Amino acid sequence: MTAPQKPVLLTGASGNLGRVLARDLAAQGYTLRLTDLTPFPDALPEGATFTRADLNDGVTILQLAEGCGAILHFGGCSTDQAFETVLGPNIRGLYHIYEAARREGARVLFASSNHAIGFHERPQGNEARLDATCEFRPDSFYGLSKAYGELMGRLYWDKHGVENLNVRIGSSFPEPADARMLATWLSYADLTRLCARFIEAPKLGHAVVWGASRNPATFWGADHRDRIGWEPEDTAEDYRAAVENKLSGNPVVERYQGGGYTGTGYSRATPSPRDPFALED
């Protein structure tokens, strides 16, 4: 594969996924500009630079994006946090990313999350899987910020023509850790392949892809992966025997697609209806 001439900006480069992407994309020949609020903990990959920056600092983000053809946005709060903690990096920070993309004519891969739709119930038996056009049902302030981020991409595509890919990441770890991840696991290799396909895609528009490997137990169905020519190659089934009995024991957590995030601070006496506008099921 021939790497593009324009550099790629990777935010959140010091996080677990950012470090993997920095290493593997640099090895494929991409010129990377890495940034994070915390120092980069590894040896800097060949062809990469690192700048320590806060997503709230719009001027620095504009400077980092100058001349870039693509932005891989993995920065911000990556776990369930209080609203005030999420607000700055995940809301204001994302605005700075899209403003930079608009100015530079760059495309954006937004690391969204299954937590943007986490209060959809898990499919049972032959029930239909969610497709990419399903309603947002966030399960936390973190998930709410991801729904906001996808809508930001929608706005910037409709109003400014900024191409964007919203990857609703399931659970990206070296291997599945519990039974839920038989449906949601995304291998590091599949994530790297997805990002490379995004950078190389001739046309994109505004698109959503479920960020999960080739898992037969998946909660999710149709999306826009054909636009980037991505098909996952790994599968959580290789780990089934080790994790299929690792359940939370919490009926709320096991009912909903968002898993543990749905149970944090949960105060309803009965589950909300599947129809988000119904009074009761």
Angle of helix 58-65 versus helix 93-104 axis, rounded to 10? 40
* Strand duo 107-113 + 206-211: pairing: unpaired
Neighbours of 203 (CB within 10 A): 9
Nearest one of 252, 211, 266, 264 to 81, comparing CA atoms: 264
Active site residue 261: no
Q: How far apart are CA 44 and CA 266, in angstroms?
A: 42
Residue 107: beta bridge partners?
A: 70
For 119, the token pair is: 């209060």
Q: Name 272's Cβ contacts closer than 8 Å, sequence gap at least 6.
A: 119
CA dist., res. 32 & res. 246, Å (int) = 39
Q: List C-alpha distances in Å: 148 to 6, 94, 98, 115, 160.
A: 28, 9, 13, 12, 17
Q: Which candidate in 30, 98, 142, 261 is catalytic? A: 142
The catalytic residues are 142
